[in-house]
Amino acid sequence: MKLSCTSLISTCFLLALPGVALSAEVSVDATAIVRFEQRANTGFPKQDLAPATQFLGLDVNKLGDGNLSLHVSGWGREDILDKSYYNNDQAVGSLTYGYLQYRFNRAADARLGRFFVHEGAVNEQVDGLSLRSDLPLGFGVSVFGGANVHTQHLANENTDGKGDAITGGRINYRYKGMLELGASGVYESKAPTLTDPAHVALLNGGKLGDHRLIGGDVWFSPFRMVEVMGHTTYNPETRGVAEHTYLLNVKPVQHLVLTGEFNEHRERNFFFGSAMFASLLNDLNEKSRSIGGSASYEISQALEVAADYKHFTRDAGNADRSGGDIRLSFLDNSVRSGLGYHYVRISKDFVNVMGTPMDSYHEMRVYAMHDTKNYFAAVDLLDYLFQEKVNNEQNAWEAMASLGYHLTPQLAVSGDFSYGRNPEYIRDIKGLVRLTYNMTFDSKGGKK
């Protein structure tokens, strides 16, 4: 089952038209952005960028018998000046999702078209069909199947590295609103073999990893003040654990929230089906882990303080991030501001995935926001102070300002501007103009 963006949108609209004529509630969400940026790199010509991007979302509810709905979202971009992306396209766009949904009752529904699946260990974008239903005795099931949503082809290839078909689902069990256990999986058809000589040499004959995962997830809240959630994913292709991700929230007293988290990735197992990391799979065998915690306390409606710490470990070094934030609010929360400081300590043998050494640094931030019925504004200042100079620069900083005005309750115009300097750019100037429209109509075309 392989559907194009155009056929998906056309099919959804044609199926929905009879219902629209009878009764419908229509919501439109549109944002137009023109971004301005000037890049000045040492040894490279200056670039003036002005990509114009249009985001459009449409929700049509209460179609037919009232249980059918249509949901569409997509975007398009065109470069007015220099090309902003490293490809040959001056204009590009994509259908993010576009599907019909039918709710049989509060416990069961079906989706047809392009949609996202977030079920336990499964996070996929699919062109196809999904079904979900609660079952007796606390059980539930969801399944999906269809075609992969393909993206831009790999360099010198006629494929993006994904297989043609994908299927999966999740079964779960709930107990008295305090426990939910789930088991999920995704199976993608075999990844294509690449033909470019460079890929053939890097990938042992040009073979990409097949994307197949299974996993288990849990949510447990024995008391209102305690909540545990997380999942473990296993890769049957590499026969190893891909990731562990778990989060603990505790609220021992009013206004105090304590959080602990544990994350572990086995890079080869986790990225086995990714074309981006395919050339590194033979060497990408390391394990990365992060353990951390945070605490936040609301002293009053106007003042909240927070502190956090996280320790990262990898085969290639370790790092720590620690610090805190102060958050303030005034005038019935119409004015919000804050400041924060974090220190990131990085061991000398710590390198990023591309093998580039990294160094310790101080991170500082100050911000303020103001919202009114007519206008909204914000300022934000970020500064990174390096322990050792990077490309002969001691720090990286950026100052940002935003100002917007509500032309009508549904229509707003705003603009952002930022200026900064960092080891990569001698001067980094960015700006954008944004037009946002949000409206809901009832079946007779009236505003809601």
Quote the tokens at residue 402. Answer: 């935003």
Cα separation, 259 vs 83, whole angstroms = 43
Is the pLDDT at 3 greater than 80? The verdict is no
State the CB neighbour count (10 A cutoff) for residue 184: 22
How far from the centroid of its chain's Cα atoms is residue 445's Cα?
34
Cα separation, 369 vs 214, whole angstroms = 43
Q: pLDDT averaged over the chain?
A: 85
Q: Give the pLDDT of residue 350.
A: 72
- pTM exceeding 0.85: no
Q: Contact, 405 vs 412, CB < 8 A?
A: yes
Q: Quick check: is 276 in a domain? A: no
Question: Burial letters for 93-113: b for 16+ Cβ neighbours within 10 Å, e otherwise?
Answer: eebbbbbbbeeeeeebbebbb
Q: Quick check: is 308 in a domain? A: yes
Q: Quick check: is 227 in a domain? A: no
State the CB neighbour count (10 A cutoff) for residue 195: 12
Cα separation, 27 vs 148, whole angstroms = 28
What is the mean predicted confidence (pLDDT) over 43-66? 85
Positive or negative, the CA dihedral 349, 350, 355, 357 is: negative
Tally the domains of the chain. 1
**What is the span of the domain harbouring residue 298?**
288-356
Cα separation, 121 vs 110, whole angstroms = 20
Q: Which residue has the higher pLDDT, 140 or 1?
A: 140
The string of DSSP letters for 420-444 reads: EE-SS-SEEEEEEEEEEEEEEE-TT
What pLDDT band is residue 99 in, cutting at 50, 70 and 90?
very high
Give the pLDDT confidence of 227-262 residue by residue, as tens digits: 999 999 999 988 999 999 999 999 999 999 999 999
Q: Give the pLDDT of residue 388.
A: 84
β-bridge partners, 437? 30, 411
Quote the tokens at residue 333. Answer: 């929360």
Q: Quick check: is 317 in a domain? A: yes
Cα–Cα separations (whole angstroms), residue 366 to 302, 326, 381, 387: 17, 10, 5, 21
Q: Quick check: is 51 in a domain? A: no
Is the pLDDT at 12 greater than 50? The verdict is no
Cα separation, 180 vs 231, whole angstroms = 12
Q: Quick check: is 333 in a domain? A: yes
Nearest to 149 by CA among 121, 173, 115, 112: 115
Q: Quick check: is 311 in a domain? A: yes
> Which residues does 432 contact at the CB level (< 8 Å), separation at least 6?
33, 34, 35, 36, 415, 416
Q: Running DSSP on this structure, what letter comes out for residue 278?
A: G
Q: Contact, 164 vs 145, CB < 8 A?
A: no
Question: Burial letters for 53-66: b for 16+ Cβ neighbours within 10 Å, e otherwise?
Answer: bbbbbbbbbbbbee
What pLDDT band is residue 14 in, cutting at 50, 70 and 90?
very low
The residue with tokens 């500064």 is 383
Q: Give the pLDDT of residue 16.
A: 47
Q: Contact, 253 vs 267, CB < 8 A?
A: no
Q: Contact, 218 vs 230, CB < 8 A?
A: yes
Is the pLDDT at 313 greater than 60? The verdict is yes
Q: Quick check: is 318 in a domain? A: yes
